[in-house]
């Protein structure tokens, strides 16, 4: 093995090296170093990623998934700590006698051929490593680097520079392999209780860092603000400290520049100069001090280091801005330890948002269990918190440990609202819907929580563009609006875009905007005859409300003009108040004018189009048109023309009658409805009446009244109603519908058709 490790850095003797788990950030960086050294590098992983595709462009031979054949012909196999013995590539290498190296062993072999610089600590390693590499590069020292994340300003997470004498590497302490390094220089940022799935306790962690300190032959830079790092490093002849005061390198005159920072650097009391750091936060100022101290010990010129730090824009997933507008900011951060969260939340607060909203994904069950109380305290710095279930990484779940563990911890320590959103795939729905103008959303965690922030950012960009293209007040809207708030059945998943136009122009604009971009469009009124599936509705749901759509008036000829958003009960009340009869049947119908027009709603022997004079609608070409009643075909519960076009306003005709006559019919309709229909939440009649008998009587004859599924039930009062008893899901209702249809088909040979409109997907598609 000694000969092989020596050959790793000899260009004249290239090896075939296979990396198991090459898609990971650490292993991908190692692949880039080995390719830079001239080796033939292959790699395998269970997934293909953008990173593996990029590496193939520079010479990596990639395969997925892991197979035994992948290691055939390899001189050396390197594996990440996440790889288990059962992995087929690992098992094949072991059985075939192919030499195996851990990732850290391979990195140590490469590092020791240069003046190695290890950046270590329980948090802050990636940012500080990137700062240090960038500073040395800008100072003309041509360093190689190995960093645990994508660094835009460095171009990649790793690079081998043959002519340089220094190499900056992030040292991973999670599995004890930090003790493998014998660097020329080292930085110890902090030492805290972490990775307790591997370590016994803090003393065990301290031992590994002490070993690193003992094996550092040159300068040992440490943070004087961290008590354990101070204890391990202070008093050593080669130690160099940094901090706010009482340290070799200090930062004073700190200024928050809203998105960046400025401070003055002193070395043992003598001012070196000012720094403007391209990223915000006091913790990043300390990270910069570490980079400055290390660069100074390597002979870098301070002015060049200062220039480098002014252009430093951070690492991917380290306080990374994902979206920024005048109204919203979305930032993603890798923080997953209470200390990291505290620093990140403090930095987010420095940006002075109206509210700080946090979506946190706990990382590892052992960490969640051990540090739950600390998480509960730290998260009190937010205004509202959403917590997903635990990202397991390579761990086996621990019973009774979940995201709810941290919800309970938060509740013990304060009153900040904390909401459980266990499934990350749909967590963005609750978070995105909660956002208000002025909010800063912070996605936190070492897993894949950033995906939720990216989804919200993409959809928020579309929503904000719609608003920006319209005059103020023309439209309002939100993301992921729960449709259960907008259906009388009180079930249904979210609408991707919930949009409320307040004028004909606004309505037409939204339809044109969405169609031009391939965004599906649905128009929904009060949802009285609507069942939305639990996965919600992809695309735009337009709800004409406010402005012209909520107006009802007389046109001077005894006719009533009503917008599509006017409730039928409001229309009936307006007519009665002006001595116009014929609208009493609308008294108990929960829908509005738009929905009634679209389906030709009716009750008590009257249908909507019995009273229509003309309808104004938006046609398929985006033109606003008005048609007289005679030009419109209206069928039982169906108006074909309004299935393609969108009703916006209608003119109704009633007849002049006395208040007493109107009141009498009003009371009769109300009493009949109360006597025959349930008052519980429902969508009205579920099925169209078949030819032989009313659907309600058919359900009764089949003995299905009172049948339940979950929290949905067939009404005991009227068989054609399914009611929500409280907390029902759309799937509960759909299962009942299918049960009724199956029984009608089986016992009566009747194919029931639904009258209720069913929209959406069973599972979210956005």
Give me the CATH number covering residue 574. Answer: 3.30.465.10
* SS3 call for 261: strand
Does the pLDDT value for residue 12 go beyond 70? no
Where does the pLDDT of residue 393 fall: very low under 50, low under 70, confident under 90, or very high at 90 and above?
confident
The per-residue pLDDT for range 441-476, each reduced to its tens digit, is 999 998 899 999 999 999 999 999 999 898 888 889
Q: Considering only CA atoms, which of 49, 765, 50, 47 is closest in space to residue 428?
A: 765
Instruction: Report the pLDDT value the prediction gives residue 3, as an integer from 0 to 100.
Output: 64
160-196 burial string, b = 16+ CB within 10 Å, else e? bbeebebbbbbbbbebbbbbbbbbbbbbbbbbbbbbb
| Residue linked to tokens 């609202």 | 417
| More confident: 748 or 197 | 748
Residue 9 pLDDT more than 70?
A: no
* Most confident residue range from 156-160, 270-274, 597-601: 270-274
Residue 761: φ, ψ to 5°? -120, 155
141 and 267 co-located in one domain: yes
pLDDT digits (tens, 9 = 90+) for 748-757: 999 999 989 9
**pLDDT above 70 as % of the chain:** 98
What distances in angstroms separate CA 692 from CA 539, 688, 695, one per listed residue?
Answer: 39, 12, 9
Greater model confidence, 557 or 523: 523
Residue where a domain terminates, one of 310, 335, 368: 310
Residues 360 and 383 in one domain: yes
**Do residue 747 and residue 636 come from a single domain?**
no
Predicted local confidence at residue 422, as pLDDT: 95
Instruction: Give the model's pLDDT for residue 240.
Output: 95
Within 13 Å, how many C-alpha atoms sit on residue 506's CB side?
24
pLDDT at residue 375, as a whole number: 95
Q: Please indicate, yes or no, if residue 491 is contained in any of the structural domains.
A: no
Query: Is the residue at 54 inside a domain?
Result: yes
H helix intervals, 417-534: 424-434, 450-468, 504-516
The structure's pTM equals: 0.78
Return contacts of 475-482, CB within 8 angstroms, 24+ apart. Answer: 475/499, 475/500, 475/501, 475/502, 475/506, 475/509, 475/510, 476/500, 476/502, 476/546, 478/433, 479/432, 479/433, 479/435, 480/428, 480/429, 480/430, 480/432, 480/433, 480/536, 481/433, 481/541, 482/429, 482/433
CB atoms within 10 A of CB 601: 23
Closest CA to 168 of 283, 82, 290: 290
Per-residue confidence band for 358, with pLDDT thresholds at 50, 70 and 90: very high
Tell me the pLDDT of the chain averaged across its residues. Answer: 90
Whole-angstrom CA distances from 678 to 568, 582, 672, 713 are 19, 24, 11, 11
At residue 58, the pLDDT reads 87
Same domain, 158 and 248: yes
Place of tokens 């007519």: 575
CATH code at position 733: 3.90.78.10
Q: Is residue 467 part of a domain?
A: no
Confidence (pLDDT) at 10:
62
Same-domain check for residues 699 and 736: yes
Read off the tokens for 372. Answer: 């739950």
Q: 585 and 614 in one domain?
A: yes
What does the pLDDT read at residue 244? 94
Q: Choose the final residue of a domain: 610, 638, 672.
A: 672
Average pLDDT value for residue range 735-760: 94
Identify the pLDDT of residue 675.
74
* pLDDT value at residue 83: 84
The per-residue pLDDT for 378 is: 93
CB-neighbour burial class of residue 700 (10 A; exposed 0-12, middle 13-18, buried 19+): middle
The residue segments making up the domain with residue 733 are 680-759
Residues 558 and 575 both lie in one domain: yes
Vertex 79, ends 73 and 84: CA angle to 5°? 110
pLDDT digits (tens, 9 = 90+) for 94-147: 999 999 988 888 888 888 888 999 999 988 889 999 999 999 999 999 999 998
Number of domains comprising the chain: 5
CATH code for the domain of 46: 3.40.50.720
Whether 494 maps to a domain, the answer reads no
**501 lies in some domain:** no
- Predicted confidence at residue 177, as pLDDT, reads 85
Residue 540 covered by a domain: no
Question: Are 565 and 446 members of one domain?
Answer: no
Say if residue 226 is in the same domain as residue 123: yes
Whether 157 has a pLDDT exceeding 50, the answer reads yes
CATH number at residue 407: 3.90.190.20
* Residues 12 and 79 occupy one common structural domain: yes
Last residue of a domain, one of 438, 459, 480: 459
Three-class DSSP category at 157: coil
pLDDT digits (tens, 9 = 90+) for 52-74: 888 888 899 999 898 999 888 89
Residue 749 falls inside a structural domain = yes
CA distance linking residue 89 with residue 728, whole number of Å: 48
More reliable by pLDDT, 189 or 639? 189
Structural domain includes residue 492: no
Angle between helices 282-297 and 302-310 (to 10 degrees): 150
* Mean pLDDT (whole number) for 577-602: 85
Indicate whether 4 pLDDT > 80.
Answer: no
Say yes or no: 214 and 327 in one domain: no
| 654 and 698 together in one domain | no
What band does 1 get if pLDDT is binned at 50, 70 and 90? very low
400-411 pLDDT, tens digit per residue, is 999 999 999 999
**Low-confidence winner among 506-510, 549-553, 641-645 (lowest mean pLDDT):** 641-645
pLDDT for residue 8 is more than 80: no
């Amino acid at each position: 093995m000694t000969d092989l490790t020596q050959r790793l850095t000899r260009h004249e003797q290239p090896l075939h090296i296979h990396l198991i788990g090459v898609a990971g950030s650490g292993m991908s960086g190692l692949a880039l170093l080995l390719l830079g050294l001239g080796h033939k590098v292959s790699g395998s992983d269970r997934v293909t990623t953008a990173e593996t595709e990029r590496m193939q462009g520079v010479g990596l031979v990639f395969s997925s998934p892991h197979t035994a054949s992948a290691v055939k012909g390899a001189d050396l196999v390197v594996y990440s700590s996440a790889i288990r013995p059962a992995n087929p590539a690992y098992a094949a290498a072991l059985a075939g006698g192919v030499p195996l190296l851990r990732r850290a062993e391979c990195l140590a072999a490469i590092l020791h051929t240069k003046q190695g610089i290890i950046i270590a600590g329980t948090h802050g390693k990636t940012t500080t490593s990137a700062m240090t590499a960038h500073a040395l590069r800008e100072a003309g020292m041509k360093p190689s680097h190995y960093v645990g994340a994508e660094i835009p300003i460095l171009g990649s997470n790793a690079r081998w520079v043959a002519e340089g004498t220094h190499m900056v590497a992030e040292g991973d302490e999670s599995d004890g392999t930090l003790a493998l390094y014998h660097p020329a220089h080292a930085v110890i940022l902090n030492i805290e209780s972490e990775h307790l799935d591997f370590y016994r306790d803090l003393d065990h962690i301290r031992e590994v860092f002490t070993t690193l300190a003992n094996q550092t032959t040159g300068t040992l830079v440490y943070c004087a603000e961290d008590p354990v790092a101070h204890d391990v490093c202070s008093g050593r002849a080669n130690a160099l400290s940094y901090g706010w005061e009482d340290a070799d390198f200090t930062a004073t005159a700190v200024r928050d520049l809203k998105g960046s920072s400025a401070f003055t650097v002193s070395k043992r009391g003598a001012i070196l100069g000012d720094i403007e750091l391209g990223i915000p936060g006091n913790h990043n100022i300390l990270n910069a001090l570490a980079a400055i101290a290390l660069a100074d010990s390597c002979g870098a010129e301070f002015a060049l280091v200062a220039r480098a730090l002014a252009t430093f824009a951070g690492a991917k997933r380290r306080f990374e801005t994902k979206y920024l507008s005048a109204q919203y900011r979305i930032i993603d951060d890798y923080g997953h330890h209470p200390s990291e969260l505290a620093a990140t939340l403090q930095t987010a607060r420095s940006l002075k948002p109206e509210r700080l909203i946090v979506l946190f994904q706990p990382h590892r069950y052992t960490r969640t269990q051990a540090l739950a109380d600390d998480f509960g305290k730290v998260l009190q710095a937010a205004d509202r918190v959403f917590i997903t279930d635990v990202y397991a990484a390579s761990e086996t779940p621990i019973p009774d440990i979940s995201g709810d563990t941290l919800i309970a911890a938060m509740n013990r320590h304060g009153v900040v609202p904390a909401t459980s959103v266990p499934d990350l795939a749909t967590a963005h729905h609750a978070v995105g819907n909660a956002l208000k103008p002025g909010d800063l959303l912070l996605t936190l965690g070492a897993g894949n929580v950033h995906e939720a922030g990216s989804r919200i950012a993409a959809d928020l960009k579309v929503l904000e563009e719609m608003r920006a293209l319209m005059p103020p007040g023309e439209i309002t809207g939100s993301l992921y609006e729960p449709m259960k708030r907008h259906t009388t059945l009180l079930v249904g998943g979210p609408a991707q875009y919930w949009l409320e136009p307040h004028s004909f122009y606004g309505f037409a604009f939204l339809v044109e905007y969405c169609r031009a971009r391939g965004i599906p469009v649905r128009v929904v009124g009060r949802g009285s005859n609507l069942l939305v599936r639990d996965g919600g509705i992809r695309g735009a749901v337009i709800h004409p409300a406010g402005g012209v759509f909520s107006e009802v008036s007389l046109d001077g000829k005894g006719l009533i003009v009503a917008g599509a958003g006017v409730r039928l009960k409001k229309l009936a009340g307006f007519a009665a108040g002006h001595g116009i009869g014929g609208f009493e049947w609308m008294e108990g119908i929960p829908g509005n004018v738009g929905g009634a027009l679209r389906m030709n709603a009716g009750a008590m022997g009257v249908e909507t189009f019995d009273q229509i004079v003309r309808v104004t609608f938006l046609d398929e070409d985006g033109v606003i048109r008005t048609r007289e009643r005679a030009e419109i075909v209206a069928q039982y519960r169906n108006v074909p023309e309004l299935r393609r076009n969108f009703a916006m306003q209608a003119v109704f005709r009633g007849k002049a009658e006395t208040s007493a006559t109107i009141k009498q019919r009003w009371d009769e309709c109300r009493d009949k409805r109360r006597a025959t229909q349930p008052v519980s939440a429902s969508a009205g009649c579920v099925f169209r009446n078949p030819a032989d008998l009313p659907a309600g009587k058919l359900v009764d004859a089949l003995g299905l009244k009172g049948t339940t599924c979950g929290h949905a039930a067939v009404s005991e009062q009227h068989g054609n109603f399914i009611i929500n008893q409280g907390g029902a899901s759309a799937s509960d209702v759909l299962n009942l519908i299918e049960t009724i249809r199956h029984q009608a088909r089986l016992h009566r040979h009747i194919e029931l058709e639904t009258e209720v409109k069913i929209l959406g997907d069973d599972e979210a598609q956005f």
